[in-house]
Structure 1
Protein backbone atom coordinates (compact mmCIF):
# COMPACT_ATOMS: atom_id res chain seq x y z
CA UNK A 1 0.00 0.00 0.00
CA UNK A 2 1.48 3.33 -1.02
CA UNK A 3 1.09 6.49 1.02
CA UNK A 4 0.51 9.84 -0.61
CA UNK A 5 2.11 12.60 1.41
CA UNK A 6 1.01 16.22 1.37
CA UNK A 7 3.53 18.94 0.57
CA UNK A 8 3.74 19.84 4.28
CA UNK A 9 4.31 16.21 5.29
CA UNK A 10 7.13 15.92 2.75
CA UNK A 11 8.66 19.15 4.07
CA UNK A 12 8.47 17.96 7.70
CA UNK A 13 9.89 14.53 6.80
CA UNK A 14 12.84 16.12 5.00
CA UNK A 15 13.57 18.46 7.88
CA UNK A 16 13.21 15.67 10.45
CA UNK A 17 15.56 13.34 8.56
CA UNK A 18 18.11 16.14 8.12
CA UNK A 19 18.08 17.06 11.83
CA UNK A 20 17.93 13.53 13.26
CA UNK A 21 19.50 11.23 10.60
CA UNK A 22 16.60 8.86 11.39
CA UNK A 23 14.60 7.30 8.55
CA UNK A 24 10.92 8.34 8.50
CA UNK A 25 8.40 5.79 7.21
CA UNK A 26 5.28 7.91 7.72
CA UNK A 27 4.16 11.27 9.08
CA UNK A 28 0.82 12.68 10.21
CA UNK A 29 0.25 16.37 10.88
CA UNK A 30 -2.50 17.21 13.36
CA UNK A 31 -3.16 20.93 12.82
CA UNK A 32 -5.98 20.95 15.39
CA UNK A 33 -3.59 19.97 18.20
CA UNK A 34 -0.42 21.54 16.72
CA UNK A 35 1.30 18.15 16.61
CA UNK A 36 3.40 16.23 14.12
CA UNK A 37 3.79 12.48 14.56
CA UNK A 38 6.66 10.69 12.85
CA UNK A 39 6.87 6.95 12.31
CA UNK A 40 10.56 6.05 12.25
CA UNK A 41 12.31 2.92 11.04
CA UNK A 42 12.79 0.23 13.68
CA UNK A 43 16.05 0.92 15.51
CA UNK A 44 16.10 4.66 14.74
CA UNK A 45 14.35 5.80 17.93
CA UNK A 46 17.62 6.78 19.63
CA UNK A 47 18.69 8.90 16.65
CA UNK A 48 15.27 10.55 16.50
CA UNK A 49 15.19 11.47 20.20
CA UNK A 50 18.85 12.39 20.64
CA UNK A 51 20.87 12.68 23.80
CA UNK A 52 18.50 13.73 26.61
CA UNK A 53 15.88 14.65 23.99
CA UNK A 54 18.05 17.30 22.36
CA UNK A 55 17.24 16.29 18.77
CA UNK A 56 13.50 16.21 19.31
CA UNK A 57 13.69 19.60 21.08
CA UNK A 58 15.57 21.06 18.11
CA UNK A 59 12.87 19.77 15.76
CA UNK A 60 10.09 21.20 17.95
CA UNK A 61 11.75 24.62 17.89
CA UNK A 62 12.08 24.52 14.08
CA UNK A 63 8.44 23.66 13.39
CA UNK A 64 6.84 25.28 16.45
CA UNK A 65 4.70 22.18 16.99
CA UNK A 66 4.68 19.31 19.43
CA UNK A 67 6.59 16.30 18.06
CA UNK A 68 5.77 12.66 18.70
CA UNK A 69 7.91 9.76 17.52
CA UNK A 70 6.73 6.17 17.11
CA UNK A 71 8.89 3.21 16.16
CA UNK A 72 7.73 1.10 13.22
CA UNK A 73 7.47 -2.68 13.35
CA UNK A 74 6.78 -5.22 10.63
CA UNK A 75 4.58 -7.12 13.10
CA UNK A 76 1.09 -5.53 13.21
CA UNK A 77 0.58 -6.46 16.89
CA UNK A 78 3.85 -4.90 18.01
CA UNK A 79 3.16 -1.94 15.73
CA UNK A 80 -0.19 -1.23 17.41
CA UNK A 81 1.44 -1.55 20.84
CA UNK A 82 4.04 1.02 19.73
CA UNK A 83 1.27 3.33 18.51
CA UNK A 84 -0.53 3.12 21.83
CA UNK A 85 2.49 2.98 24.10
CA UNK A 86 0.57 4.51 27.03
CA UNK A 87 -1.71 1.46 27.04
CA UNK A 88 -1.18 -1.69 29.01
CA UNK A 89 -2.31 -4.05 26.25
CA UNK A 90 -3.24 -7.50 27.57
CA UNK A 91 -3.99 -8.98 24.15
CA UNK A 92 -4.64 -8.13 20.51
CA UNK A 93 -6.90 -10.12 18.22
CA UNK A 94 -7.08 -9.60 14.47
CA UNK A 95 -10.20 -10.45 12.52
CA UNK A 96 -11.96 -9.64 9.27
CA UNK A 97 -15.52 -8.33 9.20
CA UNK A 98 -18.24 -9.26 6.69
CA UNK A 99 -17.05 -6.54 4.27
CA UNK A 100 -13.51 -7.97 4.31
CA UNK A 101 -12.04 -5.16 6.45
CA UNK A 102 -9.25 -6.00 8.90
CA UNK A 103 -10.09 -5.20 12.52
CA UNK A 104 -7.75 -5.16 15.54
CA UNK A 105 -9.45 -5.68 18.91
CA UNK A 106 -7.39 -4.72 21.94
CA UNK A 107 -7.95 -5.87 25.49
CA UNK A 108 -6.55 -2.92 27.45
CA UNK A 109 -6.05 -2.63 31.20
CA UNK A 110 -8.90 -0.52 32.60
CA UNK A 111 -6.43 1.83 34.34
CA UNK A 112 -4.89 2.88 31.00
CA UNK A 113 -8.04 2.90 28.86
CA UNK A 114 -8.66 6.67 29.12
CA UNK A 115 -5.09 7.61 28.23
CA UNK A 116 -5.13 5.05 25.41
CA UNK A 117 -8.10 6.75 23.80
CA UNK A 118 -6.76 10.23 24.57
CA UNK A 119 -8.50 13.55 25.00
CA UNK A 120 -11.45 13.66 22.58
CA UNK A 121 -10.18 10.39 21.07
CA UNK A 122 -7.07 11.91 19.51
CA UNK A 123 -4.72 9.00 20.39
CA UNK A 124 -6.95 6.27 19.01
CA UNK A 125 -7.77 8.37 15.93
CA UNK A 126 -4.05 8.78 15.15
CA UNK A 127 -3.44 5.06 15.79
CA UNK A 128 -6.24 4.16 13.38
CA UNK A 129 -4.74 6.43 10.69
CA UNK A 130 -1.29 4.83 10.98
CA UNK A 131 -2.72 1.28 11.17
CA UNK A 132 -4.74 1.91 8.00
CA UNK A 133 -1.80 3.43 6.13
CA UNK A 134 0.77 0.82 7.19
CA UNK A 135 -1.19 -2.46 7.47
CA UNK A 136 -4.59 -1.73 5.89
CA UNK A 137 -6.26 -2.28 9.29
CA UNK A 138 -9.63 -0.54 9.02
CA UNK A 139 -10.39 -0.18 12.72
CA UNK A 140 -8.92 -0.55 16.18
CA UNK A 141 -11.44 -1.45 18.85
CA UNK A 142 -10.62 -1.11 22.54
CA UNK A 143 -12.44 -3.25 25.07
Structure 2
Protein backbone atom coordinates (compact mmCIF):
# COMPACT_ATOMS: atom_id res chain seq x y z
CA UNK A 1 0.00 0.00 0.00
CA UNK A 2 1.40 3.37 -1.03
CA UNK A 3 0.54 6.62 0.70
CA UNK A 4 0.80 10.07 -0.82
CA UNK A 5 2.38 12.99 1.02
CA UNK A 6 -0.99 14.31 2.23
CA UNK A 7 -1.81 10.93 3.78
CA UNK A 8 1.59 10.80 5.47
CA UNK A 9 1.07 14.30 6.91
CA UNK A 10 -2.43 13.37 8.06
CA UNK A 11 -1.14 10.22 9.77
CA UNK A 12 1.67 12.19 11.42
CA UNK A 13 -0.83 14.69 12.84
CA UNK A 14 -3.06 11.82 14.03
CA UNK A 15 -0.10 10.17 15.80
CA UNK A 16 0.92 13.48 17.39
CA UNK A 17 -2.56 14.04 18.84
CA UNK A 18 -3.47 10.45 19.80
CA UNK A 19 -0.13 8.73 20.30
CA UNK A 20 -1.47 5.85 18.19
CA UNK A 21 -0.18 4.67 14.82
CA UNK A 22 -3.17 4.05 12.51
CA UNK A 23 -3.11 1.16 10.05
CA UNK A 24 -4.35 3.36 7.23
CA UNK A 25 -6.05 6.65 6.47
CA UNK A 26 -8.21 7.83 3.64
CA UNK A 27 -9.41 11.35 3.00
CA UNK A 28 -12.43 12.61 1.10
CA UNK A 29 -13.45 16.22 0.58
CA UNK A 30 -15.48 16.33 3.80
CA UNK A 31 -14.17 13.48 5.99
CA UNK A 32 -11.02 11.63 7.03
CA UNK A 33 -11.25 7.91 7.81
CA UNK A 34 -8.66 6.18 10.00
CA UNK A 35 -8.18 2.44 10.52
CA UNK A 36 -7.04 1.77 14.08
CA UNK A 37 -6.35 -1.46 15.97
CA UNK A 38 -9.56 -2.31 17.89
CA UNK A 39 -7.77 -2.47 21.24
CA UNK A 40 -6.55 1.14 20.74
CA UNK A 41 -9.92 2.52 19.68
CA UNK A 42 -10.82 3.98 23.09
CA UNK A 43 -7.50 5.83 23.22
CA UNK A 44 -8.05 7.18 19.71
CA UNK A 45 -11.56 8.43 20.55
CA UNK A 46 -10.56 9.98 23.88
CA UNK A 47 -12.68 10.72 26.91
CA UNK A 48 -16.15 11.77 25.71
CA UNK A 49 -14.77 12.02 22.16
CA UNK A 50 -12.31 14.77 23.06
CA UNK A 51 -9.52 13.45 20.84
CA UNK A 52 -11.82 13.15 17.83
CA UNK A 53 -13.02 16.72 18.45
CA UNK A 54 -9.42 17.97 18.48
CA UNK A 55 -8.73 16.11 15.24
CA UNK A 56 -11.82 17.69 13.64
CA UNK A 57 -10.54 21.15 14.56
CA UNK A 58 -7.05 20.40 13.23
CA UNK A 59 -8.20 18.91 9.91
CA UNK A 60 -11.34 21.09 9.47
CA UNK A 61 -13.14 17.90 8.45
CA UNK A 62 -15.24 15.23 10.05
CA UNK A 63 -13.14 12.33 11.42
CA UNK A 64 -14.30 8.71 11.49
CA UNK A 65 -12.46 5.82 13.10
CA UNK A 66 -12.83 2.18 12.12
CA UNK A 67 -11.33 -0.81 13.88
CA UNK A 68 -8.94 -2.79 11.68
CA UNK A 69 -9.50 -6.55 11.37
CA UNK A 70 -7.49 -9.18 9.52
CA UNK A 71 -10.45 -10.53 7.56
CA UNK A 72 -13.02 -8.84 5.37
CA UNK A 73 -16.10 -10.14 7.22
CA UNK A 74 -15.05 -8.68 10.58
CA UNK A 75 -13.93 -5.49 8.87
CA UNK A 76 -17.34 -5.04 7.21
CA UNK A 77 -19.12 -5.74 10.52
CA UNK A 78 -17.00 -3.06 12.19
CA UNK A 79 -17.50 -0.49 9.45
CA UNK A 80 -21.23 -1.09 9.00
CA UNK A 81 -22.84 -1.50 12.42
CA UNK A 82 -26.15 -3.32 12.52
CA UNK A 83 -25.21 -5.61 9.66
CA UNK A 84 -27.73 -8.44 9.37
CA UNK A 85 -25.96 -10.64 6.82
CA UNK A 86 -22.77 -10.54 4.75
CA UNK A 87 -22.02 -12.62 1.67
CA UNK A 88 -18.52 -12.50 0.18
CA UNK A 89 -18.11 -14.10 -3.24
CA UNK A 90 -15.49 -13.58 -5.95
CA UNK A 91 -14.34 -10.22 -4.63
CA UNK A 92 -17.85 -8.82 -4.14
CA UNK A 93 -19.68 -8.21 -0.87
CA UNK A 94 -23.45 -8.24 -0.44
CA UNK A 95 -24.39 -6.64 2.89
CA UNK A 96 -27.88 -6.69 4.38
CA UNK A 97 -28.70 -3.79 6.69
CA UNK A 98 -31.95 -2.61 8.29
CA UNK A 99 -33.88 -0.23 6.04
CA UNK A 100 -33.68 2.50 8.71
CA UNK A 101 -29.85 2.37 8.62
CA UNK A 102 -29.34 2.20 4.86
CA UNK A 103 -29.17 5.95 4.21
CA UNK A 104 -26.75 6.44 7.12
CA UNK A 105 -24.47 3.71 5.75
CA UNK A 106 -24.52 5.29 2.29
CA UNK A 107 -23.90 8.82 3.61
CA UNK A 108 -24.39 12.19 2.01
CA UNK A 109 -23.65 11.96 -1.73
CA UNK A 110 -22.55 8.36 -1.14
CA UNK A 111 -19.45 9.44 0.77
CA UNK A 112 -19.55 6.72 3.44
CA UNK A 113 -20.13 3.80 1.09
CA UNK A 114 -17.45 5.08 -1.32
CA UNK A 115 -14.93 5.21 1.54
CA UNK A 116 -15.94 1.74 2.75
CA UNK A 117 -15.53 0.35 -0.78
CA UNK A 118 -12.11 1.99 -1.18
CA UNK A 119 -10.84 0.68 2.17
CA UNK A 120 -12.08 -2.86 1.48
CA UNK A 121 -10.54 -2.81 -2.00
CA UNK A 122 -7.21 -1.58 -0.65
CA UNK A 123 -6.95 -4.15 2.13
CA UNK A 124 -8.94 -7.19 0.96
CA UNK A 125 -9.35 -6.84 -2.84
CA UNK A 126 -13.12 -6.55 -2.49
CA UNK A 127 -14.13 -4.96 -5.80
CA UNK A 128 -17.61 -3.77 -4.84
CA UNK A 129 -20.04 -3.62 -1.93
CA UNK A 130 -23.78 -3.82 -2.52
CA UNK A 131 -26.30 -2.92 0.19
CA UNK A 132 -29.61 -4.68 0.67
CA UNK A 133 -32.34 -3.62 3.06
> What TM-score do the two structures reach when normalised by structure 2?
0.92
Q: How many residues align?
A: 132
Note the 1:4-43 alignment, pairs <5 A.
4-31=2-29, 33=30, 35-43=31-39
Deviations 1:25-52 (A, max 9, x none): 1111112x2x211111221111111111
Structure 1: state its 5+ residue gaps.
97-101
> In 2, Cα distance between the equivalents of 1:71 and 1:62?
22
RMSD across aligned positions (CA):
1.2
Runs of 4+ in 1 over 3 A off after TM superposition: none
Query: Higher strand fraction: Structure 1 or Structure 2?
Result: 1
> In 2, Cα distance between the equivalents of 1:115 and 1:60?
20
**Residue in 2 aligned with 1:118?**
107
- Which protein is bigger by CA-based radius of gyration? 1
Deviation at 1:131, TM superposition (A): 0.3
Deviations 1:60-109 (A, max 9, x none): 22222221111111131120122223xx211101101xxxxx01111111
| Range with bigger deviation, 3-12 or 60-69 | 60-69
Q: Is the 8 A contact 2:93 2:128 kept in 1?
A: yes
> What TM-score do the two structures reach when normalised by structure 1?
0.86
Structure 2: state its 5+ residue gaps.
none
Q: Is the 8 A contact 1:20 1:47 kept in 2?
A: yes
> In 1, Cα distance between the equivalents of 2:73 and 2:112?
17
**Residue in 2 aligned with 1:99?**
none
Query: Higher helix fraction: Structure 1 or Structure 2?
Result: 2
2:58 to 62, 66, 71: 62
